[in-house]
Chain A
């Protein structure tokens, strides 16, 4: 249905573009390109919540449109072009793989604003990039994982070996290690963002090998559903979205999801669309986190002891206040060479290009 309206508006947009180019626009149209279905309960779901927040904030002054499950690659370029033609004033492309398509289309539509999530290319003045400091959330859940594990083995389901994911792994492990010096990290690569059966298999493989706290960097809730089968002897975290359905087990005991890292895109989307409407819009490279409310830790459930909850909350408060950076030295690289000296914090450039594990993680990063 959405696709059909899109086509219809594309046709209308064409007429507009050629027939009456000077027609004034009183409604701002914000469009969103999603990599998965809105119902994934994770990554795409959260972006869509942000889109709905824009509508909620500005009411009749904005119009929103979106398309789900757009493959990364040539199809993305076609979809983005179609959106630009259909009269979108600002287009948010919400996956790393849309980086080149976004820039290609932006070259052809200088009057349309493009916002690409998690990428780094801003080849044209109308392309901005935005991301969130998810590693801040990983630090908090890493601390909880280190405290909660009974087997001293914690797991991480990786999607693809890109800096974003490696940053998350390092932050998670570093803080688990600070909380529990005996902790060991097991990383499994799923090589997909979304394949519930495979994500469940990855969780199962780690559970079978004695891992009892797992965090995922994939988009669905399947790992939590798999952990739930352990019946209270293993734990996991909501990823991207709160995944509150897994907070309690069927028998009422606190369930496999003990906390979550929520991507809260609403403040950013509302701000940017607002700026576009009042004329203060400028090209930016945004990388916000807990202080701006873009990374939020969901309710910690009662499986976590009170003192651990308090410690986690203290860490959240310190990061939010800007007093603590999750990558603060002393930290060494995996090969033992020095990376950060005592008290030194990592610069954004190193983080965004991160291609090494920190000391203590076993195994290599696949290429």
Chain B
């Protein structure tokens, strides 16, 4: 084993790329769950975003347009979930799982003619001064624009939830929809907007997979990334900053274990791959074992249906 082969600069750079899809999907899902809705359809929205983004990018030659369309597609798909669960009061878990299945099927149908094709990908940014810095320039400041957009979204979500009145309303809806309703807030409208934001973020995450990280379309290419995003939200106990840490940790461990293998380490790699999931389970156990703490973590009305006349 020769650990000196691992270049920390390149390692961190590739972790940032590798974590971006799950970061985007997880931050979107966190907002959805903060509003009290559990949408298990992240995987389906991601893969729909991946295929739509790829199709648009390949036909227009503009990857950024692909990302924009992917976000719209994700939001539209999630809106069907929103209408079913919020207006027709269907079960959120079942509808979310259905959304995943629909997304997987729809994407393989739409993507058939595009298999094996190559697309233009996003260029690496060359930021004046910053990109030329030694070490950090290559590590942090030479990525494509979406990496920075994803970080901006995290900061924006954090600031929105913490400092704005709208953010406070969203949290109120998630904590107690009855009270929020009594105060005159439009619970269903707030939730629908949150769901669409989550769908758009998942669509962006999927498009990042098909346009930058892999860059190609292959059926089923998200391969479970949406479920990891859901785990990250729990791991992060519904806080934006911790979502960032969680996504980089989950993405980082995959990259790290492959790097360790390439450096010649053969023992313990499987345990490392397993660790983020074990940590998630531990966090869940910790949250649910402590009743007084739990009120600070999971939104109190998470996954419950709301009807104004009840």
Interface residues of A (CB under 8 A from B): 37, 39-41, 69, 155, 186-192, 194-198, 200-202, 204-206, 208-211, 220-222, 225-226, 243, 245-246, 250, 362-366
Contact of A208 among B11, B108, B261 (CB under 8 A): B11
| C-alpha spacing A364/B6, complex, angstroms | 19
* A189 closest partner in B (C-beta): B261
Q: Quick check: A225 and B214 within 8 Å, CB to CB?
A: yes
- B1-44 contacts to A, CB under 8 A, are 1, 5-7, 10-11, 14, 17-18, 21
Do the beta carbons of A205 and B220 come within 8 Å of each other?
no
Please state if A40 and B117 are interface contacts (CB–CB under 8 Å).
no
Bound: A210/B264 CA distance, A: 13
8 Å CB contacts to A: which residues of B198-223? 209, 213-216, 218-223
Report chain A residues within 8 Å CB of B220. 37, 69, 194
Known: A39-B111, A222-B214, A222-B218. A208 touches B225 (CB 8 A): no
Most B CB atoms within 10 A — which of A37, A204, A363, A366? A204
Q: Which residue of A lies closest to B9 (CB)?
A: A208
**A-side contacts of B263, CB under 8 Å:** 209
Residues of A within 8 A of B209 (CB): 196-197
Q: Is there contact, CB below 8 Å, between A200 and B214?
A: yes
Q: How far is the CB of A223 from chain B (nearest CB, A)?
A: 10
Residues of A within 8 A of B11 (CB): 208
Contact partner of B261 (CB less than 8 A), chosen from A195, A205, A222, A245, is A205
**Do A187 and B221 touch (CB < 8 A)?**
no
CA distance A39 to B115 in the complex (A): 6
Report A-chain residues with C-beta under 8 Å of the C-beta of B111. Answer: 39
Report the minimum CB–CB distance from A235 to chain B (whole Å).
17
Mark the stretch among B91-99, B146-154, B177-185, B251-259 that contacts chain A.
B251-259
CB < 8 Å neighbour of A209 from B6, B18, B266: B6
Distance in Å from the Cβ of A248 to the closest Cβ of chain B?
10
Contacts of B213 in A (CB 8 A): 197, 200
Q: Which 7 A-B residue pairings sit nearest by Cβ, starting from the closest?
A: A39-B115, A37-B219, A205-B258, A208-B10, A195-B223, A205-B259, A209-B5
Q: Is the CB of B6 within 8 A of A245?
A: no
CB distance from B77 to the nearest CB of A (A): 21
B264–A362 contact, CB under 8 A? yes
CA distance A39 to B259 in the complex (A): 29
Is B269 at the interface (CB under 8 A from chain A)?
A: yes
Among B5, B218, B261: residue with most chain A CB under 10 A: B218
> When the two chains form their complex, are residues B215 and A363 in contact, meaning their CB atoms are under 8 A apart?
no
Contact of B262 among A40, A186, A243 (CB under 8 A): A186
CB of B134 closer than 8 Å to a CB of A: no
How does the 8 Å CB contact mask read for B255-299 relative to A, with 1 for contact and 0 for none?
A: 100110111101101100100000000000000000000000000
Query: In the complex, how many angstroms separate the beta carbon of A217 from the nearest chain B beta carbon?
Result: 14
- Assess whether B218 is in contact with A209, with CB atoms less than 8 Å apart: no
Q: Decide: A208 and B14 in contact? CB cutoff 8 A.
A: yes
In the complex, B189 has a CB within 8 A of chain A: no
Q: Is B112 an interface residue (CB 8 A)?
A: yes
Contacts A196-B223, A245-B116 given; indicate if A205 touches B215 (C-beta within 8 A): no
- Chain B residues positioned under 8 Å from A220 (CB to CB): 218, 221
Chain B residues, CB < 8 A from A205:
14, 255, 258-259, 261-262
Which residues on the B side are within 8 Å of A189 (C-beta)?
A: 261, 269
The residue on B at minimum CB distance from A219 is: B218
Residues from chain A with Cβ under 8 Å of B18 in the complex: 197, 201, 204
* Cα(A187)–Cα(B219), bound, Å: 26
Interface size on B, residues (CB 8 A): 43
Q: Which residues on the A side are within 8 Å of B6 (C-beta)?
A: 208-209
A14–B106 alpha-carbon span in the complex (Å): 31
Q: Roughly how many angstroms separate A362 CA and B261 CA in the complex, as a whole number?
A: 11
A133 to chain B, nearest CB (A): 26
Distance between Cα atoms of A245 and B267 in the complex (Å) = 37
B307 at the interface (CB under 8 A from A): no
A258 to B10, CA, bound (A): 26
Q: Which residues of B contact A197 (CB under 8 A)?
A: 18, 21, 209, 213-214, 221-223, 225
- CB contacts under 8 Å to A, within B222-257, are 222-223, 225, 254-255
Known pairs A37-B219, A209-B6, A225-B215; A366 contacts B254 (CB<8 A) = no
Q: How far is it, in angstroms, between the C-alpha of A222 and the C-alpha of B232 when the chains are bound?
A: 25
User: Which residue in chain B gives the minimum CB-CB distance to A199?
Assistant: B214
Residues on B with C-beta less than 8 A from A204 are: 14, 17-18, 255, 258
Q: Say whether B118 contacts A196, CB under 8 Å.
A: no
Question: What chain A residues lie within 8 Å of B5 (beta carbons)?
Answer: 209-210
Q: What chain A residues lie within 8 Å of B273 (beta carbons)?
A: 191
Given A37-B108, A196-B223, A209-B6, check contact A202 B218 (CB 8 Å): no
A338 to chain B: closest CB distance in Å?
25
- Chain A proximity mask over B166-178: 1 for CB below 8 Å, otherwise 0: 0000000000000
Q: Contact between A201 and B264 (Cβ–Cβ < 8 Å)?
A: no
Shortest Cβ gap from B166 to chain A (Å): 34
CB distance from A194 to the nearest CB of B (A): 8
Can you spell out 11 A-B residue pairs with CB atoms less than 8 angstroms apart?
Answer: A37-B219, A39-B218, A196-B221, A197-B21, A202-B258, A204-B14, A206-B262, A220-B221, A225-B214, A362-B264, A365-B266
Separation of A279 and B228 alpha carbons in the complex (Å): 53
Q: Are B118 and A40 in contact (CB under 8 A)?
A: no
Across the two chains, which residue of chain B brings its CB closest to A228?
B118
Chain B min CB distance to A86 (Å): 22
B262-A198 in contact (CB<8A): no
